[in-house]
Amino acid sequence: MPELPNQDAPQSRLEGFRLALQDLWHDRRTTLVLVLTVASIIAPLMLLFGLKTGVIATLRQDLVNDPRNLEIVVFGAHRLDQRWFATVAQRPDLGFLIPRTRTINATIDLADRERRPFDAIDMIPTAAGDPLLPPDLPTPAHAGQVLLTETLAKRVGWTPGAPLTGYFRRSRNGTPENARLTLKPIGVIPESRVAREALFTHLDLLIASEDYRDGLRAALTDANLRAPAVGTRTEFAGARVYARDLDAVDTLAATLRAQGIEVRTQAERIETMRAFDRTLSFILRVIALIGLTGCALALGGALWVNVDRKRRDLALLRLFGFGNGTVVLMPMVQSAVIAALALVLALVTYLFGAVAFNRTLGQNLAGQGYVCRLEPEHLAAAAAATLLVALLAAVAAGYRASRIDPAECLRGG
């Protein structure tokens, strides 16, 4: 039997590509069924992964937006010197750091214009970059300026521009003494940020009040508030510490614990979110594996049957001079085109589904959260996975096409 010509030149393969597309159009009903079959598998997977990504991203954003989850609370009284603060401030996982005085000295008694007393209000040191403060809220520039929490502002009946009177009490040689200061509130911290009564102040005010109570200042008035204390403050009893992000909470807390500093974090809430993420990821990976395997088997089986159904046509192509590579290429081209059309249809279905989920279920989320969303890189990964599965499915059909014996097929034809 004479050897068949093997013409796998580029023009022959280009002609095979054209014939593959024409064959798809000729059997457009079968093609449509295959496209719908693949799309019906890909679209639910995209929606499931969109739900997973949206829910986890929203939970994570809610955790990040609540700065209390980034706080590393330092317990007890310590002796933290300037070197310690300088070292911690250089850490890349640090978000915010400011010294604190002893808790017993970090309170102030207030009085409004009508001289109504409000005793033992917590003072919290603050500075630029404080994660508890809204970005548009100014920070106290000196010891005479303060910020009120919303709950405290309501309690004292504060109105913008009105001053507050602050009192510090101490006992010296058995004689009670009071220091009186005039404080200027420059803003109110929303209750969504800090849900308790507190006064956010410049660090200098806490240092001055502690020095006054410790007897290092003979008096504390508006006039001498900025005067330096006796000696230089080199150590602090505590600090306000915040991590840069959720992933940095564990590392920063571990470092402080290694230094013998007792700390508390929101590690349980963070780990709950991570465990939820891991569980969902595992479940969806299993579902995706089963779905893509089913997609490959369905598409591969359909292409295999299609090759068997068109054995005579493929044999004629071989006799007309098309090489083995060109014949093998045809089911692969058809598989890729079916996958591409199915991917477009699945994407449209996903977009409609995502909009429906976000409009219906998104109403139950606080803020600007969403329940279903895929980023561009996720869509690119879905496209790559779909095309890869399609090409793998076409391998069996391509192998089947390469094994066709033209003469034997024609004899049986």
For residue range 205-228, what is the model confidence (pLDDT) as tens digits?
Answer: 999 888 888 888 888 888 877 655
Residue 183 C-beta-side C-alpha neighbours within 13 Å = 29
CA dihedral 233, 234, 240, 242 (to 10 degrees): 140
Last residue within a domain, chosen from 203, 228, 261 = 261
For residues 94-112, average pLDDT:
89
State the Cα angle at 100 between 98 and 101, rounded to 5°: 155
For residue range 361-390, what is the model confidence (pLDDT) as tens digits?
Answer: 766 555 555 778 788 887 888 888 888 877
- Is 0.75 surpassed by the pTM of this model? no
For residue range 79-92, what is the model confidence (pLDDT) as tens digits?
Answer: 899 899 999 999 99
Closest CA relative to residue 291, chosen from 61, 40, 8, 105: 40
* Lowest-confidence region among 148-157, 185-194, 398-407: 398-407
- To the nearest whole percent, how much of the chain has pLDDT over 90? 22
- Between these two residues, 393 and 45, which has the higher pLDDT value? 45
Last residue within a domain, chosen from 242, 261, 280 = 261
Residues 342 and 257 in one domain: no
Last residue within a domain, chosen from 261, 293, 320 = 261
Q: Which amino acid is at 407?
A: A
| Distance (Å, whole) CA 184 – CA 207 | 18
For residues 6-17, average pLDDT:
57
Residue numbers of the domain that contains 321: 10-64+272-412
- Between these two residues, 171 and 370, which has the higher pLDDT value? 171
Mean of the per-residue pLDDT values for the chain?
81
Q: Is the pLDDT of residue 10 over 60?
A: no
Strands of 87-137 (E only): list them: 94-100, 107-111, 117-125
| Distance (Å, whole) CA 309 – CA 267 | 62
Residues with Cβ within 8 Å of residue 93, at least 6 apart in sequence:
243, 244, 248, 251, 252
Residues 177 and 321 in one domain: no
Q: What are phi and psi of 359, to 5 degrees?
A: -75, -40
Residues 296 and 216 in one domain: no
Count of other CB atoms within 10 angstroms of residue 119 = 11
